């Protein structure tokens, strides 16, 4: 199977492994089908706002939601940079400055830190 684009891998994997669990964290799991559907929703929201080829910071733990955000960015034609929640805020701010990102995806648990990292987002 020759893949031209990373999203083709998920598309083809979803066709073959529809109901197979692709990832599991401490609280939940997700199938290939659920991952594709959720990721396309996030990708669609970026498209709704004409956000394309932009750096998107993803600031959250290693969770199912984080994986959905990675794929959502890929489906929307944007690129993502994950920043681990254990990264010191100062270092995370420097990464955000280098990226000149206007967008950061996070979860409720890390909203305060996300605002410190990317105050203009």
The confidence score (pLDDT) of residue 11 equals: 86
Q: Which residues of 10-27 are buried (b: 16+ CB within 10 A; e: fewer)?
A: beebbeeeeeeebbeeee
Does 32 fall in a domain?
Answer: yes
1, part of any domain: no
Residues 107, 94: Cα–Cα separation, whole Å: 21
Query: What Å distances lie between residue 59 and 3, 39, 43, 47, 121, CA to CA?
Result: 28, 16, 17, 21, 12
Report pLDDT for 64: 97
pLDDT for 51 equals 96
pLDDT of 49 reads 95
- How many folded domains does the chain comprise? 1
- The whole-number pLDDT of residue 6 equals 85
> Which residue is associated with the tokens 């944007």?
78
Expressed as residue numbers, the domain containing 15 is 6-117
In a domain, 55, yes or no: yes
Report the CATH number at residue 93: 3.40.50.980
Regions of the chain short of the pLDDT cut 50 = none
- Beta strand 55-59 with 29-31: parallel, antiparallel or unpaired? unpaired
């Amino acid at each position: 199977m020759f893949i031209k684009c990373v999203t083709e891998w998920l598309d083809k994997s979803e066709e073959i492994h529809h109901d197979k669990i692709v990832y599991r964290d401490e609280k939940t799991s997700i199938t290939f089908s659920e991952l594709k559907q959720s990721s396309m929703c996030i990708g669609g929201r970026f498209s709704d706002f004409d956000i394309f080829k932009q750096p998107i910071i993803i600031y959250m733990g290693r969770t199912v939601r984080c994986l959905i955000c990675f794929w959502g960015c890929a489906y929307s034609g944007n690129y993502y940079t994950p920043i681990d929640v254990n990264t010191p805020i100062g270092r995370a701010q420097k990464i955000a400055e280098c990226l000149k990102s206007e967008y950061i995806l996070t979860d409720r648990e890390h909203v305060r830190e996300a605002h410190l990292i990317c105050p203009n987002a």
